[in-house]
Amino acid sequence: MADPLALDGGTPVRATLLPYSRQAVDGDDIRAVTAALRSDWLTTGPLVGAFERAVAGAAGAAHAVAVSSGTAALHAAVSAAGIGHGDEVVLTPLTFVASANAVLYCGGVPVFADVRPDTLTLDPDAAEARITARTKAMLPVDFAGQACDMDRFGTMARARGVCVIEDSAHSLGGAYHGRPVGSLADLTTFSFHPAKLVTTGEGGAVTTNRDDLAARLRRFRNHGFDTDFRERQARGEVYSPMVEMGYNYRLTDIQCALGLSQLAKAEGFLKRRTQIAERYFAALADVPAVSALAVDPAVRHGWHIFPVLLDLERLSATRGTVVAALRAENIGAAVHYVPAYWHPYYEGLGYRRGLCPRAEAAFERLVTLPLFAAMTEADADDVVAALRKVLGHYLR
């Protein structure tokens, strides 16, 4: 007899919960933050610029503008791209809702296009079919850490006179045909939330190669002022002219101290995530009723999350039951993402189910396995053991 599931009162595979993600903060990070706290600058000081140079370097871009979250980065990028009332932005529904919300913040209209069946990233053909005279931008999201087909999006954007904003919250450190993520689109957004590759607590950045867009992003994060406090002080000016609408989306020196310290370790973090992902790939090959997503050979994967697809036809349980059973085994399984337009707020705006059938069908089968830099091989083996136990139990 197989062991009974923890969900049915059996012994869990692990004694303690393995979360789906967790930050890796060490003594160096803590010392860096402490030093910032003892310095003259808590908010916009010298560490903001230093962090921006480090992010731009990692992303292979001319400019990085640090902001207070990945969501603020999206808002700033959509605004800098000139999206205003009624302008359409074509994007994937398989994303965190902030990608679509950023379009709404600017008065734009999110237009959802379906995903590729193999990688679940925005399908360039589906995106192209949604372009109209009102389209101002396309917003591909590097789902799970995998850059989208950026050559296709770039060619399409130039032909149609639209802009490309890449939501790369999942793919810092990744690359496409050897070019780093952050250098591939007109504007690329990153997040430094604790679940992401490197963290500043909350934080984000936008990278771009265009000087004009960088200047707009800097004004946008600081009330629409054309100078910041330190520049005004240096010039002896008593006030800064507000030249356009902006927000307080600044990142602090304290956060940038953490970000600089984390970014120095990013390569090691990604290497570790890649090792865990490879261990999953090898082990999943002989677990029934589950498969990993395809990896595009053109891509260096950012391995933010490890989603798998359940073969529901072969199981007597729903995805919801499988996730609950994994959690009972102390494996912090999660789901990324419910199609953005299924959220009640979007339904209220008039979006209906059925818009993107491939994304919707994938959502019903998706489960995210734990993946983070501080995971051990034994943790990964626990995940596979729990998956084998749970799926074996529900196999038809």
Ligand X SMILES: *Cc1c(COP(=O)(O)O)cnc(C)c1O
Catalytic residue list = 196
Structure tokens that stand for 395 in this block? 């196999």
Cis peptide before 337 (omega within 30 of 0): yes
Q: Is 204 in the site for ligand X (CB under 6 A)?
A: yes
- The least CB distance from residue 193 to ligand X, in Å, is 4
Range 320-349, binding ligand X (CB under 6 A): none
Pick the closer one to ligand X by CB: 70 or 182. Answer: 70
Q: Is 370 in the site for ligand X (CB under 6 A)?
A: no
Pick the closer one to ligand X by CB: 69 or 261. Answer: 69
CB neighbour list of residue 152: distance below 8 Å, 6 or more residues apart: 124
Q: 286: helix, coil or strand?
A: coil
- The least CB distance from residue 170 to ligand X, in Å, is 6
Q: Is 372 in the site for ligand X (CB under 6 A)?
A: no
Pick the closer one to ligand X by CB: 69 or 79. Answer: 69
Q: Is 119 in the site for ligand X (CB under 6 A)?
A: no
Q: Is 96 in the site for ligand X (CB under 6 A)?
A: yes
Pick the closer one to ligand X by CB: 24 or 141. Answer: 141
Angstrom distance (rounded) from CA 396 to CA 315: 5
Q: Is 255 in the site for ligand X (CB under 6 A)?
A: no
CB burial readout 139-159, b (16+ within 10 A) else e: bbbbbbbbbbbbebbeebbee
Quick one: angle between helices 377-394 and 266-284, nearest 10? Answer: 30
Q: Taking the CA atoms of 248, 55, 267 and 148 in sequence, report the sign of the dihedral they define.
A: positive
CB neighbour list of residue 201: distance below 8 Å, 6 or more residues apart: 192, 194, 255, 258
- Contact range with ligand X by CB under 6 A, out of 66-74, 106-114, 278-286, 320-328: 66-74
With vertex at residue 65, the alpha carbon angle to CA 62 and CA 66, rounded to the nearest 5 degrees, is 140
Q: Is 95 in the site for ligand X (CB under 6 A)?
A: yes
Q: Is 167 in the site for ligand X (CB under 6 A)?
A: yes
Q: Is 141 in the site for ligand X (CB under 6 A)?
A: yes
- The least CB distance from residue 69 to ligand X, in Å, is 4
Q: Is 366 in the site for ligand X (CB under 6 A)?
A: no
